[in-house]
Structure 1
Amino acid sequence: MNTNTTEIQPQKKNDILTVIIASSAGTLIEWYDMFLAIIMASTLSVNFFQADGSHFLETLAVVASSFMIRPIGSLLFGSIGDRVGRKYSFLLSLIIMGASTFLIGCIPNFATIGWAAPILLLVFRLLQGLAISGEYAGAVIYVAEHAPKEKRGFYTGFIQATVPIGLLICLLVVYIVRSSMSAEDFVSYGWRIPFLLSSVLVILSYFARKKLHESPVFEELKSKGKTSKSPIKDAFKAKGNIALIFKAIFGGNAAQSTVMQTSLFVTLFFLQRTVLLPETTVLLITTIVTFCSAYFYQYFGAISDRLGRKPVLLGGLIASLILIPLSFYLFIQIGNPDGLNEIHEISTTATMQLIGVSFMLSVAGAATYGPLGAFMLELFPTKIRYTSMGFAQNTGNGLVGGATTFVTELIKSSFVVSAVMAPYIGLIYPVGIVVIAIIVNAFFVPETYKRDLTEDIE
């Protein structure tokens, strides 16, 4: 009997390739769902608010609400992940995300149901925020707990790369749908198609993930009766764990998010609303940059296995500090040197130059994000890893860094400064967060890349 049990056991193990594909596919789809409303903010503002002027800032506030709820969601899903298992937590998050995205595509416009339209958008964005708070941490931990120690950055780098790939698919779908119909038809009903399409992708990913078994590290913890009965309580009461959470938030996580938000969405809106380029041109630039930079997310994760998490992360932060102000200055100098006050076309040469500038900023963002997943999970003990990492990641990435797009727009519209500084004043927020991260990371954050994830189970 014992011999048979021993023989059956290996069949319950997951092949690392299957783990990466199933985990990455689900995370990719959830980022697609998360980013879709941000990219479509201008269109949503027309559909879900009354036609009495621009409601772009209000729409961004509703869209950003998904980032604000994420710390709460991380405690909910983290508790499930640390008590029941990693697999079940991110299966649940996938279902919630898919349903919420589909339902956004079904919301009637303001003319039909009035203020119920933005309220429903708010409700579904909050549900999306809850879902992504359980998804990312679960996927990274699940992959890392299957990976050999010397390749944790390499394998978790595939999860990190789902962000640009998810955005890339999102941009391509929006671009194809928008190009296949008139602007009026897209605003009227075409915008719904990318949201509704998500349901098909979610169903496929769900069945792929359902076949996976639990991670071996968690199974070992569970078999020895060392799982936490109260992960939330333990995460905040374990000796030194709160300090680790703060180091994770301000030593890289908040800055990573603000750099990524700046290189992607702040850039997108800046080129549309300040440089005044056609929307199709901006989508083209963003799509090409996202495609070309996607590789570097996994690349920097792999590099951190050899050099350590801190050197790679610090290098990305310092590069971002230089490139953020420089890039936005060049966006105007290249895209609108004559200070035109209307939407205008630019030459192919200028378009390529803007792609080059944006690409450099995106690669800096990749350097901050590539090693971050491995770095975050290595900080925390196994029995409260999901809760601790989830809370730190969703507070830094969601609450602090996730507010970047909204806060930069709010600062630009609220502060009266000179005409020269007006386009750039919103960059104070991401630059400030990056400076804090450089200081905290350089002087207070430990190196983690050689840590054994099972050392606290014995």
Structure 2
Amino acid sequence: MTKDEKRVILASSAGTIFEWYDFYLYGSLAAMIGAQFFSAFPEATRNVFALLAFAAGFLVRPFGALVFGRLGDIVGRKYTFLMTILIMGTSTFLVGLLPGYASIGWAAPIILIALRMLQGLALGGEYGGAVVYVAEHAPQDRRGYFTSWIQTTATLGLLMSLLVILACRSYLGEKDFADWGWRVPFLLSIFLLIISVYIRMQMEESPAFTKMKEEGRTSKAPLSEAFGQWKNAKFALIALLGLTAGQAVVWYTGQFYALFFLQNVLRVDLLTTNVLIAWALIIGTGGFVFFGSLSDRVGRKVIILAGCLIAAITYFPVFNYITATANPQLHKAHQSVEVVVIADAKNCSFQFNPTGTSKFTTACDIAKATLARSSVQYTTESKAGATETVVKIAGKEIHSYDASKLTGDEAKTVPAAFTKSVNDALGAAGYPVPGVANTEIVKTSGFFDIFRAQPLKLIVLLTFLIILVTMVYGPIAAALVELFPTRIRYTGMSLPYHIGNGWFGGLLPATAFAMSAEAGNIYTGLWYPIVIAVGTLIIGAIFVPENRNKDIFADDK
């Protein structure tokens, strides 16, 4: 690799790492941000709103792809993704300065959501610009290797955000970090922004774009040319359904859902969860470059689809083993304790509540929600015409209640009594319950407190999930670049990538959790990534062309 080629990759990758760092900070600190900006609501509701504000950044990514993709194909690669880093970095810094709800009222959450949407728009334009810029500098036979360095940036950005948060928590202490210290990682991003802008100002425009512009062959209307003409639009559809949808769910399952599963389902503490994920990221990140380079020899398609296939086959046993290793007491209870909810099916709702405003008050809904919060495996027995809902735990029956019928002091005493009865019965049957020490659950005291069998096994399992991520993600940039001609490449590849990752992937944790809660099984949500991965495997095998030896400039005239 020449000095100039190294500089191109470093300049593109460094700025993109910083953008992902900015983006992931919010997700890692969503609960604390919710307490600051949505404090007008009860705790459960404000956490939902905080996560929805996080999701807003994902949902607007395709629109950012359209806006900045068009600019990139008209104005140029360099100045477009210089603009995206400025928007992202400034928005993140302002989150660190933004007063909370207690200071400025409703203006606080409104401004917060606006800043999150700006972050999402900027990210929608960043990735395509960085990938196209590197690909158009790369030798034809090493395009997968060169672009795979960009693929490491999302994982490295996540890792950087986790390490900065861990350092701040350790230095400031939990109380100060929750009160005001959570702002520090956001404020530190100003230094990353300055470095990124300086690096990108030194870059030259892509030679392929420069030559095309000098010859007057740039697209005047890249959106209509990319998506209004079937010869190009069909490749956008193929890219979405045959590549990025499956890549996205494998990527988000291996990184974000695994983190969510450990912390929220298995009740592993935040420090331990972050330490385990961080080590898996450190060990597995080299896979991006390995599989990117391998795709130059064997093809992009075969590696990506193989990753989807292996994920679909292994997710159930791997997550089951994660449970058995991280929280053995919970795993044993799942195997040995029978829990049944007996109710009239007409009184049971699908408790998917994306806005946090729906009220589930029936006795059946309350029973299921209480069990789901304790990660209990249960079945539902439908009993037509039943006037009561009964939770049967290892033979012990507990009657649920209808919240809409409670008044006065009953509204406080009855729910508390029901929850206590359920927890007491679960604890007596063998389930881990809140307030009772669980000595079997995995725990680390620091970043290097991992050299014991339990955390090491978990790091191996999590690293396996990261390796699957690198299989599907390492070659994807080169595969997408090779589907579109230079004149519309930035626009054409950005939209399917960000619909796949922003929508199919970004909504995975919430969707998977809702499915698991409805079924009474903590693993049911895994069907979401499995079905999409298998769909991508089938569509990709039939329709995606193998273009690793393609001259990506040959069809521009």
TM-score normalised per structure 1:
0.93
Shift of 1:302: 0.6
Shift of 1:180: 1.1
The CA RMSD measured in Å over matched residues stands at 1.6
| Residue of 468, 483, 501 corresponding to 1:397 | 501
| Residue of 47, 53, 68 corresponding to 2:36 | 47
The answer to whether residue 135 in structure 2 is matched with residue 144 in structure 1 is yes
Structure with higher Rg: it is: 2
Shift of 1:427: 2.0
Q: Answer whether contact 2:227 2:236 (CA < 8 A) is retained.
A: no
The answer to whether residue 145 in structure 2 is matched with residue 154 in structure 1 is yes
Equivalent residue for 1:100?
91
After alignment, is 364-373 or 161-170 more displaced? Answer: 161-170
Shift of 1:336: 1.2
- Counterpart Cα distance in 1 of 2:109 and 2:249: 26
After alignment, is 45-54 or 136-145 more displaced? Answer: 45-54
> Which residues in structure 2 correspond to 1:287-302 (within 5 Å)?
287-302=278-293
Structure 1: which amino acid aligns with 2:509?
T
- Counterpart Cα distance in 1 of 2:71 and 2:96: 29
SS in 1 for 2:219: coil
Q: Answer whether contact 1:57 1:409 (CA < 8 A) is retained.
A: no
- Counterpart Cα distance in 2 of 1:42 and 1:239: 45
SS in 2 for 1:105: helix
- Counterpart Cα distance in 1 of 2:209 and 2:456: 48
| Residue of 511, 520, 527 corresponding to 1:428 | 527
Structure 2: which amino acid aligns with 1:23?
S
In the superposition, relative to structure 1, how do residues 195 and 412 fare at CA in structure 2: closer, same or farther (>3 Å)?
Answer: farther
Q: Answer whether contact 1:70 1:398 (CA < 8 A) is retained.
A: yes
> Which residues in structure 2 correspond to 1:171-250 (within 5 Å)?
171-250=162-241
- Counterpart Cα distance in 2 of 1:289 and 1:99: 30
Shift of 1:409: 3.3
SS in 2 for 1:399: helix
Deviations 1:180-234 (A, max 9, x none): 1221111101111111111111111111111111111111211221100111111
Equivalent residue for 2:160?
169
Equivalent residue for 2:462?
358
Shift of 1:14: 8.9
After alignment, is 210-219 or 46-55 more displaced? Answer: 46-55
Q: Extract unaligned runs of 5+ from structure 1.
A: 1-12
Deviations 1:317-376 (A, max 9, x none): 111112322222122111112122348552632111111111101100110000000000
Equivalent residue for 1:9?
none
Structure 2: which amino acid aligns with 1:449?
R
In the superposition, relative to structure 1, how do residues 45 and 324 fare at CA in structure 2: closer, same or farther (>3 Å)?
Answer: farther
- Counterpart Cα distance in 1 of 2:513 and 2:31: 13
Equivalent residue for 1:33?
22
Shift of 1:136: 0.5
Equivalent residue for 1:73?
64
- Counterpart Cα distance in 1 of 2:320 and 2:497: 31
Equivalent residue for 1:4?
none
After alignment, is 41-50 or 376-385 more displaced? Answer: 41-50
The answer to whether residue 538 in structure 2 is matched with residue 449 in structure 1 is no
Deviations 1:367-417 (A, max 9, x none): 00000000001001111111111111111111222221232234345x2x2
- Counterpart Cα distance in 2 of 1:123 and 1:223: 38
After alignment, is 57-66 or 223-232 more displaced? Answer: 57-66
Structure 2: which amino acid aligns with 1:29?
F
Equivalent residue for 1:15?
4
Equivalent residue for 1:346?
442
> Which residues in structure 2 correspond to 1:117-128 (within 5 Å)?
117-128=108-119
Give the number of equivalent residue pairs: 441
> Which residues in structure 2 correspond to 1:377-392 (within 5 Å)?
377-392=481-496
Deviations 1:70-89 (A, max 9, x none): 11111110111101101111
The answer to whether residue 480 in structure 2 is matched with residue 376 in structure 1 is yes
Shift of 1:38: 1.0
In the superposition, relative to structure 1, how do residues 189 and 392 fare at CA in structure 2: closer, same or farther (>3 Å)?
Answer: same
Shift of 1:40: 1.3
- Counterpart Cα distance in 1 of 2:201 and 2:3: 12
Q: Answer whether contact 1:57 1:410 (CA < 8 A) is retained.
A: no
SS in 1 for 2:329: coil
Structure 2: which amino acid aligns with 1:65?
A
Deviations 1:18-44 (A, max 9, x none): 101100001110111111111112222
Q: Answer whether contact 1:154 1:302 (CA < 8 A) is retained.
A: yes
> Which residues in structure 2 correspond to 1:76-95 (within 5 Å)?
76-95=67-86
Equivalent residue for 2:447?
none
- Structure with bigger helix share is 1
Shift of 1:111: 2.5
The percentage of aligned residue pairs carrying the same residue is 40
The answer to whether residue 294 in structure 2 is matched with residue 303 in structure 1 is yes
